[in-house]
Structures are given as structure tokens and as C-alpha cells.
């Protein structure tokens, strides 16, 4: 079983910052994130993800709200990862980037750099973000307002499909840029004065509806060759992105039967995309409130809900109980075909500590989880091979040298 943790501010519950033991004054301090990553690593977790966005957080996913009793504001996820990774040795880092308003050339360079500073433990979670208020920050494109009650409208569905098609092209550009330097392109021969072999740098010449990128990258090929790409999906169109473009898909099943349906849908999309023989992990997302007893966990969630002024709801299943009960749930869902789980701590650091000090030992007792790190890279931890550069056997493009 693979395990990841999803870090977001003070935790996933909107009142988490008001809980005893929370650290709201440190949310914008590098040391806070390093300590969380080190705690996750003590639990031998495969990787952590870091949430991000291009607008202030809101209880409504489709528009801004005026609330001031919630955490508002965040640091850049990629920069948090680059700051934090050197404080760890084994755990992977998968920060979030928004595909609609960032450039894949810049992000490819940033994630390649993260792979270097972490010695091969980098990934990226691509997220579609096309809210109208986000578009107003950039002024480069229009994004019609989305409303929950119009998600079945044909025009809205077409817009959503286009956003995910753009994300697929975005990932394709990332992957081509990471391949644009062959592994041995750097010669570094002081005697001859040759630092690179220019025949081993390649133009990617990507031409698509949303991007036109010539390349090559300005950063040498990452240590993993291809950093891990992840995406979150809730239905058919996002599942297609996972199947076509990702190494890991985060999904939100309601129960074991639903988990099996989701896995089957993604495998079918993989086959349609010609990726049936490639490993694509499917991780189930679960929000966790963990305590020594179920009654304590239920009471803590109720206290947080009372402070927030509303019952907490999530796109993912909310588990409230003990580590042993959560282990039962994960074991049951794993039998449905999920290869891992991304757990969202309701309160940090409390629920993360519960995961590493109670859940992990319980899974180890059942023989379901590792007792030591067994690989030095994130791809290695996930059992993913290191791919060769697609351009390694290509004929060098004639013309001006890169």
C-alpha cells in the first residue's frame, strides 16, 4: 500500500487554525512546512502534496466569499517544496500548479530544479483553475463564471472539457521539455572546454491549440528523467486526463464499490489512450479526524464544526474515528483496486501525527506497509521505471544551435 499526505495550511477543516495545538502564526514560515515534512517522513510516507491556488481560499469552490474567520492567503507550493525538500532525505514532494494561468516552460524548469534539490524526489500535481475572479488577476483570457447549478449545461460542460484538454497539452509540454536534454548531454570537460554536447539538446517544437513551445529546456534532464505527474479527478473528463497524462490519479470514492467503478473507468480510459501497459497509480482521497477513540474524534469534529458555524463537507469521504478503523477502511478499498491513499489531515499537526504514530504502525502490523524506505527516488518508491528520453535516438535538428 502506498500512502501520501495532503498538506493545506492549518489543516483541511476551515476552523483547524483555531484548534489547540495548531500553529496559525507559523503558516507562512518555512520551518512550519519543514517540520510537517519531517513528521511525514518519520511515518515512511511515499510523498506529500502541497495545495495551492491563484485566488484567496473560499468555502465556495466557484466564487470568492467575504469570510474573515478562515485561513486566507498561502505561500507558493513549488517554493515551499524547494525550501523544505533539503530538510528531508526520502519522502517525495508533489506541489500543486494551476495550468490555466502558468506557463509550462516555467513550471518544467521549476519542477526539474525541485528534482535536483531533492535528489530525485519531485513531482507535480496539475490543477485546472478557471474561475472568473482568477482570470481577472491576469487579464490575458476570459473565463465565464461557473456555478454549481449549471454544471450540466452543455456550454459549461464544453468549457470544462476544454480546460482539461488544455491541461493534457500542458503536461505533454512538461514531459517533452524534461526529455529535451539527453541524460549525457553535459560533458563538463575542462581540458577541451566543452560543457555540453549540443547534439544532445533537442527542440521539442510543440504546436497545439493553447501552447507553442520550441524548447529545449534550459535545465538539464531531471535526476528521475521524468518527475511524477499527478492530478485529482471527480468524473469522466478528469479521469481522462489522469489516464492520458498522469502517473498518479487522486480520486474520491464513497465506498468500496464506487472505488472499483472509478478504477475500472480509469483503466478503460488508459486503454483508449494507448497506455494500457503503463503504470498509473490510483489513490483514494480521505479526510481524516483521528483520535484514540471514535467518541473523541466525533467530539473534536463537532467542536470544529461549531467554531466554523457549519458542518464540514468535502469532495472526499470524511473519516472520523481511530487508526485501527481507518486501517480497516483502507484495506477494504485497496481490495477494490486502489494502489494507495492520499490522506487529508483535518487539523495540523494533530492528525498528521496520528497518521504517522498510530495508522502506520497498525498497517505495518498487518503487513500492508513498509518498515523502511526502499528506494532513493519518488519514482522508485512508487515502482515506476525511469524512462529514457524520447529524443535520445532522434536525429539532431539542423539549423541554429540551442
First to last CA, the chain: 44
H or E element: which one contains 155? helix 154-179
Residue 124 lies in a domain: yes
d(CA 24, CA 71): 8
Query: Residue 343 falls within a domain, yes or no?
Result: yes
Q: Which pLDDT value is given to residue 394?
A: 55
Cβ proximity of 81 and 93 under 8 Å? yes
CATH value at residue 198: 3.20.20.30
> What residue numbers bound the domain in which 340 lies?
2-381
Q: Report the C-alpha gap between 190 and 205 in whole angstroms.
A: 32
Helix (H, G, I), strand (E, B) or coil at 97: strand
The 10s digit of each residue's pLDDT in 305-346 is 999 999 999 999 999 999 999 999 999 999 999 999 999 999
The cell numbers describing 227, all together, are 518527475
Spatial contact of 111 and 122, defined as CB atoms under 8 Å apart: yes
Q: Is residue 389 part of a domain?
A: no
Write down the number of H helices and E strands in the chain: 12, 13
Give the confidence band of 243 by pLDDT, cuts at 50, 70, 90.
Answer: very high
Residue closest to 266 by CA, chosen among 296, 289, 232? 232
**Using one digit for the tens of pLDDT, what is the confidence trace for 46-98?**
999 999 998 888 888 778 888 999 999 999 999 999 999 999 999 999 999 99
What is the band of 361 on the pLDDT scale with cuts at 50, 70, 90? Answer: very high
Residue 136's H or E segment, with its range, is helix 132-138
Is residue 398 one of the residues assigned to a domain? no
Domain count, the chain: 1
Helical H runs in 180-255? 236-245
Question: How far, in Å, CA of 223 to CA of 113, rounded?
Answer: 10
The answer to whether residues 187 and 197 touch, using CB atoms and an 8 Å cutoff, is: yes
Report the distance separating Cα 112 and Cα 122, nearest Å: 8
- Do the domain assignments include residue 391? no
- According to the model, what pLDDT value does residue 400 have? 44
**H or E element in which residue 230 lies:** strand 228-232
- Taking only the tens place, the pLDDT of each residue in 250-276 is 999 999 999 999 999 999 999 999 999
Other CB atoms within a 10 A radius of the CB of residue 98 amount to 20
Alpha carbon distance 335, 179 (integer Å): 36
> Would 399 be classed as within a structural domain?
no
For the chain, percent of residues with pLDDT exceeding 90? 83
CA triple 285-286-290, angle to 5 deg = 150
d(CA 59, CA 70): 9
Tell me whether residue 353 is in a domain: yes
pTM of the model: 0.94
Domain assignment present for 396: no
Mean pLDDT, the chain, rounded, equals: 93
Question: Residue 375 pLDDT > 80, yes or no?
Answer: yes
Amino acid at each position: 500500500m502506498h500512502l501520501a499526505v495532503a498538506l493545506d495550511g492549518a489543516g483541511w477543516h476551515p476552523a483547524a487554525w483555531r484548534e489547540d495545538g495548531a500553529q496559525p502564526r507559523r503558516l507562512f514560515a518555512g520551518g512550519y512546512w519543514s517540520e510537517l515534512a519531517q513528521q511525514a517522513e518519520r511515518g515512511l510516507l511515499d510523498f506529500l502534496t502541497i495545495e495551492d491556488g491563484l485566488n484567496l481560499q473560499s468555502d465556495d469552490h466557484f466564487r470568492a466569499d467575504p469570510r474573515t474567520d478562515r485561513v486566507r492567503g498561502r505561500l507558493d507550493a513549488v517554493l515551499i517544496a524547494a525550501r523544505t525538500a533539503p530538510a528531508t532525505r526520502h519522502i517525495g514532494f508533489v506541489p500543486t500548479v494551476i495550468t490555466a494561468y502558468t506557463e509550462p516552460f516555467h513550471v518544467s524548469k521549476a519542477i526539474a530544479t525541485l528534482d535536483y534539490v531533492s535528489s530525485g524526489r519531485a513531482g507535480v500535481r496539475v490543477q485546472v483553475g478557471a474561475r472568473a475572479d482568477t482570470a481577472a488577476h491576469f487579464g490575458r483570457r476570459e473565463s465565464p463564471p461557473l456555478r454549481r447549478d449549471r454544471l450540466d449545461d452543455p456550454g459549461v460542460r464544453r468549457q470544462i472539457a476544454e480546460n482539461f484538454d488544455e491541461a493534457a497539452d500542458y503536461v505533454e509540454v512538461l514531459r517533452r521539455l524534461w526529455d529535451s536534454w539527453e541524460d549525457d548531454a553535459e560533458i563538463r570537460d575542462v581540458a577541451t572546454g566543452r560543457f555540453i554536447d549540443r547534439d544532445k539538446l533537442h527542440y521539442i517544437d510543440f504546436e497545439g491549440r493553447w501552447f507553442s513551445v520550441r524548447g529545449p529546456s534550459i535545465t538539464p534532464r531531471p535526476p528521475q528523467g521524468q518527475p511524477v505527474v499527478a492530478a485529482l479527478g471527480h468524473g469522466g473528463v478528469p479521469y481522462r486526463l489522469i489516464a492520458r497524462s498522469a502517473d498518479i490519479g487522486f480520486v474520491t470514492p464513497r465506498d468500496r464499490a464506487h472505488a472499483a467503478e472509478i478504477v475500472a473507468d480509469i483503466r478503460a480510459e488508459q486503454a483508449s489512450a494507448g497506455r494500457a501497459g503503463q503504470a498509473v497509480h490510483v489513490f483514494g482521497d480521505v479526510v481524516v479526524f483521528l483520535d484514540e477513540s471514535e467518541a473523541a474524534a466525533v467530539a473534536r469534529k463537532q467542536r470544529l464544526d461549531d467554531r466554523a458555524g457549519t458542518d464540514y463537507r468535502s469532495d472526499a469521504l470524511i473519516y472520523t474515528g481511530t487508526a485501527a478503523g481507518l486501517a480497516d477502511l483502507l484495506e477494504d478499498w485497496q481490495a477494490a483496486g486502489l494502489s494507495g491513499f492520499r490522506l487529508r489531515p483535518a487539523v495540523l499537526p494533530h492528525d498528521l501525527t496520528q497518521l504517522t504514530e498510530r495508522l502506520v504502525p497498525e498497517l505495518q502490523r498487518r503487513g500492508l506497509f513498509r518498515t523502511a524506505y526502499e528506494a532513493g527516488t519518488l519514482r522508485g518508491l512508487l515502482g515506476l521505471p525511469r524512462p529514457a528520453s524520447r529524443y535520445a535516438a532522434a536525429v539532431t535538428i539542423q539549423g541554429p544551435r540551442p
